[in-house]
Chain A
Amino acid sequence: MNIIYVLIPLSVILMIIAIYFFFWAVRNDQFDDLDTPALDILDEDEGPASGQKHERQDGD
């Protein structure tokens, strides 16, 4: 039973870390566009189609 004295503070620390990373994500625009990323995943498995070719011509 004594293990809770370790595990519970640990969970609190984990929560603080989670909050820290969430704040970091919010600051880095991760939550600004919730619409388009859902479509990107459909595009990636397209294989060597013309869309990919088009992208590669820029270096960024």
Chain B
Amino acid sequence: MHQSASPCWHCGDPIPAGVDIQAEIGGQARAMCCHGCQTVARLIDSSGLGRYYEFRDALPERPELDHIEADDFIAWDRPAIYDHYARSDCDGFYRLTLVLENVHCAACAWLIRRFVGALPGLAEVRVDVSDGRVHLRFDPKRTPLSEIAARLASLGYRPHLDSPLAGTARNQTERRQMLKYIVVAGLGMMQVMSYALAKYIGAWQGMEPEAERFFLLISMVVAVPVCLYSGQIFYKSAWRTLIQGRMGMDVPVAAAMLLALFSSVYITLFGSGAVYFDSVVMFIFFLLLGRYAVLVARQNAGQLHSALARSLPVQTRRLNDSGSELVSLVELSVGDRLQVAAGETVPADGRIDSGVVMVDESLLSGESIPRRRVAGEQVLAGSLVREGQMVLGIEELGQSTALSGIVRMLDQARTYKPRMALMADRLAAWFVAFVLTGAAVSGVVWWQIDPSMALPVVLAVLVVSCPCALALGTPVALAAAARGFARLGVLISRPDALEKLPKISHVVFDKTGTLTLPEMRIDQVQTLKDFDADRARRLAGRLERISRHPVATAFVRFDDGGAIDQAESVTAQGVSGSINGVDYRLGKPEFVGQWLEEIPEPPGAGQWVALARPGQLLAWFSLDSPFREGAASLINTLHEAGLTVWLASGDRHENVVQAAEQLGIENHRSECSPADKLELVRQIQTEGGRVAMIGDGINDAPVLAGADISMALAEGADIARTQADLVVTGKGLNRIAAAFALAPRVRRIVRQNLTLSFSYNATALPFAAAGFVPPWLAAIGMSASSLVVVLNAQRLGRRSALGDGRRKTGDGRGALSNAGSGSSPSSVSRLPSSGTPQP
């Protein structure tokens, strides 16, 4: 592996050999891996925001080199955008929300606020780290939206317009309402408890009857409004399930609350006996805390969905009578004609009027090899034009495109309830019926024995056996696990996978793009006639600048930004261009050979591209795809865990054998089509194995679907496209090993929670029915059991629960520096105590 000692200061990626890029940060020269990182780091430093590197506790993705200018977003300044997405304040300011890519931690939010907030005319910049949204209030006359967007994009936080239909507003209202309930219940609880305490102490030491009466009345005055206000969600939810003829866990909860409250009011006003104001308020408060935890977890899990908006372009070029204009997508209508060029994403479904293009339809079909489309053929929104250009007539827009259909399907798949949670729900419904019967029976029995004990016993039974802990146990654990996984950089799209992950016996890897990086790398350079190798790399970098072909990824780091004229990319052949007056070609031997007497012979095996000028061959580059960081250690970890590892690849036999040997994988198959891979998975399954398939999520969608669990590696917009159960974001493979390590803990904690709550309910119920448990003790017992379950689940989300992730030490250096080695970097103990921004 060609890696130098220190990783890139900005993104933490290893710096490839032959790259020497530096940027001065805070007066010190720091090594960078590419010009993209250099640009962003310089930008951050020159804005006086270098402290970002001290604050951050997560690494950014490597920014793309694209030179971002306000022009890239110019269509966002059109009135249609403001009409559609923004809300106008009367003072000339507009409010608007953008969805950003790559927002990781509070330091990102800080950086964005400082960097964008410094623009003139920005009254408010608020960043929500949990869902990656930025809420702006700005004056478009002083700073147009396009400039704000370009500024965000230049930092690596590519912005997308947030659909006004999105559920954020509803989420916010829900969260705020819940906060209000909790605080009212909490303050009320403190008050009522203090009165109750005074009453209990008074009962020992003797208290004047009127003082006791006063405490009773004031308890009622505080408790009744608090219970009616804060307990609303339970009454409403119980009522909803009742009128639907079902049994929800809120039914006994609401019954206990209302029964205790109104009997206490009755006793206070007309009778004598014990009152339960303190118990009710405490009961409500603790239940609300549990509900709030679930709500926040659910909302955070929803952030996956917002990735959908990212699949479509920011703006498009519409043809009109006088030529063409850049417009935003909301302005398009069926029948419009668009011009779409190489590198652009098709914004709507339509038919090609003229032109020939190679389109990448991987988003829609999973097929990554670009297809040729000519006039008269259909192209779909979300496809990427790799080469050529076309004029497109729009047939379907927005919600009616094929892409929207796919996204809707994905959303449905993601919102369905996991099996574990469903089981707990069914159990809880049975339990509720049981509890209600039990309460009624013990009430009737006690009415015969001692009528004054009937009410306390019924209350105690209802409260003590509230199946909250039972119903909370699983969802809270899954939510905490999802958070834990998200910290590792693993997103869970189907929570069932968590249940299956510990049972996996075989792991099948794809090679290209999974164990290896999707980008290519220059392995060797052979120059002819004493041509300088560095110069050859730089020339090649410039030539490949305009190319969108995968081969270009190997050269882009060597682009020195110099001038190039008549740059042209020839489909499936290579690139050509003129530098300092000399014509160059870079590409396949046949392509370059057109300038030479004969087609040159590559100097060795593997993939070679040639660089030449007319009549003279200059250099050969051999290309390969490097392994992802941590590939070897992942395979080791899996072997140590007793799993069988397979490598199934579509690549040629010798490449696969070589890769398998390097990584120590004993089982491998080469030259597999997706169908062959699926066959392999099925075969292992019939032999009784349970298979986890790890791929790039797009090319191998059918295989992923056939496996017991699928994992995909994806970055940026691709996250929305993958169909896998677990999506591993970013580049490192370490996270997969961490996910395998975390999954058994999830199952263990779900089981612990279920056992705990069941045994608590089962033991407490007889005691309560026998009259040994006063209602206040029942309330404490119930709350304690719920709290124990919630706290137990939190162990999954805690940072110390995670072996290794992308977390780093306070100075921004650390965990990823020992890349690719067998040792597991431990950054956890060195984390700064201040950097735990988890709400």
**Whole-angstrom distance between the alpha carbons of A12 and B195 in the complex?**
11
A29 CB contacts on chain B under 8 angstroms: 126
- B216 CB, nearest partner CB in chain A, Å: 12
Kindly count the residue-residue contacts between A and B in the assembled complex, taking CB atoms under 8 Å apart: 98
Residue of B nearest to A40 (CB): B110
Nearest-neighbor residue (CB-CB) of A36 within chain B:
B109
Would A58 and B121 count as touching, CB distance under 8 A? yes
Q: Which of A1-44 contact B (CB under 8 A)?
A: 1, 4-5, 8-9, 11-12, 15, 18-19, 22-23, 26-27, 29, 31-36, 38-40, 42-43
**Which B91-140 residues have a C-beta within 8 angstroms of A?**
105-107, 109-110, 113-114, 117-123, 126-130
Q: Quick check: A12 and B176 within 8 Å, CB to CB?
A: no
The distance in angstroms between the C-alpha atoms of A15 and B188, with both chains bound, is 8
Quick check: is B222 within 8 A (CB to CB) of the other chain?
A: yes
Contact size class for A?
A: 35 or more
What are the residues of chain A within 8 A of B179 when measuring CB–CB?
26, 31
Mark contacts of B180-222 with chain A using CB atoms, 8 A cut-off: 1 yes-contact digit, 0 otherwise: 1001100110010001000000000000100100100010011
Q: How far is the CB of B344 from chain A (nearest CB, A)?
A: 35
* Most chain A C-beta atoms within 10 Å of own C-beta, residue among B48, B119, B172, B837: B48
Q: Which residues of B contact A12 (CB under 8 A)?
A: 191, 218, 221-222
User: Contacts A18-B187, A33-B128, A54-B47: A39 and B120 contacting too (C-beta < 8 A)?
Assistant: no
Contact: B48 with A50, CB < 8 Å? yes
A32-B172, A51-B49 are contacts. A39–B110 as well, Cβ < 8 Å? yes
Query: B276: CB under 8 A from chain A?
Result: no
Query: Shortest CB–CB separation between residue B749 and chain A, in angstroms?
Result: 26
Query: Given contacts A36-B113, A51-B48, A58-B120, is CB(A5)–CB(B214) below 8 Å?
Result: yes
Would you call B55 and A42 a contact (CB within 8 A)? Answer: yes
Q: Is the C-beta of B42 less than 8 angstroms from some C-beta in chain A?
A: no
Contact of B123 among A26, A33, A53, A60 (CB under 8 A): A60
Q: Which residue of B lies closest to A50 (CB)?
A: B48
Q: Tell me the complex Cα distance, A34–B300, Å.
A: 14
Residues in A neighbouring B109, C-beta threshold 8 A:
33, 35-36, 39
> Cβ of B183 and Cβ of A32 under 8 Å apart?
no
Asked if B118 contacts A36 (CB within 8 A), the reply is: no
- Shortest Cβ distance from residue B586 to the other chain A in the assembled complex, whole angstroms: 42
Q: Which of A1, A11, A19, A60 has the most CB of B within 10 A?
A: A60
Residue of B nearest to A34 (CB): B839
User: Is the beta-carbon distance between A26 and B106 smaller than 8 angstroms?
Assistant: no
- The CA of A52 and the CA of B106, in the complex, are separated in Å by 20
Residues on B with C-beta less than 8 A from A18 are 187
In addition to A8-B214, A29-B126, A33-B127, 4 A-B residue pairs with Cβ atoms within 8 Å of each other are A8-B218, A35-B106, A35-B130, A39-B106
Instruction: Kindly list the 10 A-B residue pairs having the minimum CB-CB distance in the complex, ordered from nearest.
Output: A50-B48, A51-B48, A35-B106, A36-B109, A35-B837, A39-B110, A58-B120, A35-B129, A34-B839, A54-B118
Residue positions of A touching B, CB distance < 8 A:
1, 4-5, 8-9, 11-12, 15, 18-19, 22-23, 26-27, 29, 31-36, 38-40, 42-43, 46, 49-55, 57-60
A sample of 10 inter-chain contacts (CB < 8 A) reads: A4-B214, A8-B218, A26-B180, A27-B176, A34-B837, A35-B129, A51-B49, A54-B114, A58-B122, A60-B122
